[in-house]
Amino acid sequence: MIKNTRTLGEFIIKNQLAFPFSTGELSSLINGIRLAAKVVNHEVNKAGLVDILGAYGETNIQGEKQQKLDVFANEKFIQALDNREIVCGIASEEEEDFVILNSDDKKNQNKYVVLIDPLDGSSNIDVNVSVGTIFSIYRRISPLGSPVQLKDFLQPGKDQVAAGYIIYGTSTMIVYSTGDGVNGFTLNPAIGSFYLSHPNMKFPEDGSIYSVNEGNYVHFPNGVKQYIKYCQKEEGNRPYSSRYIGSLVSDFHRNMIKGGIYMYPNSEIANDGKLRLLYECNPMAYIAEQAGGKASDGQSRILDIKPTELHQRVPFFCGSKNMVKKLEEYITTCQ
């Protein structure tokens, strides 16, 4: 029996008046993401049964091998948003440059741009580990009626009007915020509808989980090393549990529900960190703050960073507020 009978579509309609500057376009945009999520979910669930696993044979702008599902998800999300005629441009982790949509003068009245990681953690597909989609929505700052410009995408995360992620796991969920808290919706595969399953999601202020690839420990800055030692020390409610899936969406989702910190620091082998500011860090930081958590590059708020390029990388620490604050203290002390 379904716990909550309110669907995502009903939730969007009811809350539409809360969207600033919107006359329904943002609602339709999120509905487009919902549709693409169901298409990608269907394909992810067929992995192993059809020829959708493995490498596509190309590398993306990050220099990473594209998986077949990376390419499929990228195409489906762009197609779904293009068909809505609401978005004037999309920037994707899988594309070298931003994609201009609806480029004639009349349709350049579209006011939104979308930045997206179509399939986060796709290298885990072959081993049946949860993957996800991360998205971020901004109002364009270039004049309506003109072509979308790079500056429309290089906005600080604090200017997002909405952000969210889809997790394709034991159940498929859409978790998103439009600046008024965070809500999660679970897909009922029998009828193809998302139902409100996790209303008003919140990070616990404290947690007992730390998520980091400790295989890179030797390359981490000293402050991060010292914080990991703190997490492992037997004192009070410590040692904390180490839990790392290697899929940002999955690690973030678990930590938001149970309380924890996710860390992907800069290192001797990745001077600027590995995660992308625009496609991963900004949307996840927006959700974290809306859920009472905190997101930092180790020294400053992620959402205050002014981007300088589409595929910019930054160190990323995100999760329960007191855990991130303690991490920042260690980084400051060890400088």
Q: Does 280 show up as a binding residue in the annotation? A: yes
H-helix or E-strand containing 29?
helix 25-44
Q: Does 107 show up as a binding residue in the annotation? A: no
φ, ψ for residue 317, nearest 5 deg? -130, 125
Q: Does 222 show up as a binding residue in the annotation? A: no
Neighbours of 156 (CB within 10 A): 16
Question: In the structure encoding, which two tokens stand for residue 167, read together?
Answer: 């997790």
CA atoms within 13 A on the CB side of 314: 28
- Output the CA torsion 20→21→24→25 (10° steps): -110
Burial-class residue 333 by CB neighbours within 10 Å (0-12, 13-18, 19+).
Answer: exposed
CA distance 295 to 289: 7
CA distance 8 to 20: 19
Burial-class residue 192 by CB neighbours within 10 Å (0-12, 13-18, 19+).
Answer: exposed
Q: Is the dihedral of CA 93, 23, 102, 82 positive or negative?
A: positive
Q: Does 123 show up as a binding residue in the annotation? A: yes
Cβ(151)–Cβ(141) below 8 Å: yes
Cβ(287)–Cβ(165) below 8 Å: yes
Q: Does 274 show up as a binding residue in the annotation? A: yes
Q: Does 213 show up as a binding residue in the annotation? A: yes
Amino acid at 164: G
Q: Does 8 show up as a binding residue in the annotation? A: no
- Residue matched to tokens 């762009």: 78
Q: Does 83 show up as a binding residue in the annotation? A: no
Cβ(287)–Cβ(319) below 8 Å: no
Q: Does 69 show up as a binding residue in the annotation? A: no
Distance spanning both ends of the chain, measured CA to CA: 54
Cβ(267)–Cβ(212) below 8 Å: no
CA distance 268 to 254: 28
Q: Does 122 show up as a binding residue in the annotation? A: yes
Beta bridge partners of 87: 112
Q: Does 244 show up as a binding residue in the annotation? A: yes
Known binding residues for Mg(2+): 93, 117, 119-120, 280
Known binding residues: 93, 117, 119-123, 213, 244, 274, 280
Known binding residues for substrate: 120-123, 213, 244, 274
